Amino acid sequence: GYQVMLDGRPMKTPAQNPVVLPTYPLALAVAAEGEWQVRVLQRAFERASMIACMHHAKSCVNQGWSIIV
């Protein structure tokens, strides 16, 4: 079988067993899907972080505080 790796670590089932698939194309498809999900989540986190930072900066300015970057 083919073990699926993401970021150099083995992908695991909820029971903590390694994901092993019977064919290379199937393993490649699962790995690609996992990598895509990681990238989407990273972008979403970056956007959420920026929105939170902008909200915090706006609150500081509204209270008359100086922002030094």
Give residue 50's pLDDT: 75
The CA radius of gyration of the chain, in Å to the nearest whole number, is: 20
pLDDT average, residue stretch 48-68: 69
Give residue 61's pLDDT: 67
Half-sphere exposure of 59 (CA within 13 A, CB side): 6
**Taking the model in full, what pTM does it have?**
0.53
Residue located via tokens 């903590």: 16
Which residue intervals of the chain are DSSP H helices? 24-62
Question: What contacts 39, CB < 8 A, 6 or more positions away?
Answer: none
Residue located via tokens 């695991």: 12
